[in-house]
Amino acid sequence: MKIEVFYSPSQVDELFLRDKNVIVIDVLRASSSIAYALMNGAREIIPVSTVESAVKISGNLFGDVVLRGGERNGKMIEGFNLGNSPLEYTETAVKGKSIIFCTTNGSSAIVKSRYAKNLVVAGFVNMSTTLEFIKELNEDFSILCAGKQSLFCIEDSVCAGMIITLLMNDETIALELNDPAVAAAVLYKSMGKNLSRTIRATDHGKYLTEIGFKNDIKFCTDLDSVPVLPMLAGNSIKLRKKEILKPAPKTTVPAQ
Ligand code: MLT
């Protein structure tokens, strides 16, 4: 199984990702918000990369079954119903709703991967379901870290490294890694011991704490707390059906 990692969407274009299996990671916070919204009964998440597209797509249905969610600079966008704190995506807020979702890095990474063969949204909160899917699929895949404004970020890279490390521990799988994938595994080994503390100390972790979202970091680093698999189906992200019925077993974190 070949795994390649990209640390920012700026390293790839849509055609490069076409027909590949792509795992998009945006630990803080798009992956975690998307997974939690779907677990809480949201009908679908429709990712868009600009606020203008969000307003246009939601059109006349806005406010009824269609909500707008997302952020700019970490804060809710004017005229939107929800920001990008996963804690806002409660059952009461999202059940049965279609959510047009626009965030700075996460939704743009998803939009960039829209021609993928399979596109999965992953974070620490759904680590085991992601691994289960990868093993079941048993094909090469690419991990696209959403990063931060086209740059590398630690939280997404450590999460990518955790996926790779857990696969490396499975002796039935022969892995072939590109250099960034090897580096991600090394990063996880050195920084993955206390996820919450590590991620709190990152650039984005510090920023979120500063603007009042410290609790989101705890939520987004809570391993396997949202055991669902968000997958792109057409233009929207939905739950992979069987995940509703069968949550994955808890991840056993390897000794480091
Ligand atoms: C993003 O997509 O850039 C993020 O999820 C930012 C955030 O709201 O923390």
User: What would the mean pLDDT of 69-89 be, rounded to a whole number?
Assistant: 97
Residues 6+ apart with CB under 8 A from 182: none
Taking alpha carbons only, the member of 150, 34, 12 closest to residue 89 is 34
> pLDDT at residue 245 above 50?
no
Assigned domain for 256 exists: no
| Residue 255 belongs to a domain | no
pLDDT at 5 over 80: yes
| Amino acid 58: pLDDT | 86
The alpha carbon of 104 and the centre of ligand 1 are apart by a number of angstroms equal to 6
Q: What is the mean pLDDT of residues 2-15?
A: 96
In a domain, 252, yes or no: no
Q: Is 246 inside a domain boundary? A: no
pLDDT tens column, 160-201:
999 999 999 999 999 999 999 999 999 999 999 999 999 999
What confidence tier does 241 reach under pLDDT thresholds 50, 70, 90? confident
- Is residue 157 assigned to a domain? yes
- Cα-to-centroid distance, 16 and ligand 1 (Å): 24
- Number of domains forming the structure of the chain: 1
Q: Which atom from ligand 1 is nearest to the alpha carbon of 28? A: 9
Q: Which domain holds residue 193?
A: 2-232
Q: What is the mean pLDDT of residues 202-226?
A: 98
Q: At 251, which helix (H) or strand (E)?
A: none
Q: Which residues line ligand 1 (CB under 6 A)?
A: 26, 28-30, 71, 74, 84, 103-106, 146
DSSP lists the bridge partners of residue 142 as 4, 22
* Higher pLDDT, residue 214 or 246: 214
pLDDT band at 255 (very low <50, low <70, confident <90, very high): very low
Neighbours of 73 (CB within 10 A): 8
Predicted TM-score of the model (pTM): 0.94
Residue 65 Cα to ligand 1 middle (Å): 24
- 91-122 confidence digits (pLDDT tens): 999 999 999 999 999 999 999 999 999 999 99
Asked whether residue 248 carries a pLDDT value surpassing 90, the answer given is: no
CATH assignment of the domain containing 70: 3.90.1560.10
d(CA 109, CA 142): 13
For residue 72, is it within any domain?
yes
Gap from CA of 133 to ligand 1 centroid (Å): 25
Complete DSSP assignment for 184-227: HHHHHHHH-SSHHHHHHTSHHHHHHHHTT-HHHHHHHTSTTSS-
pLDDT at 13 over 50: yes
Decide if 245 is inside a domain: no
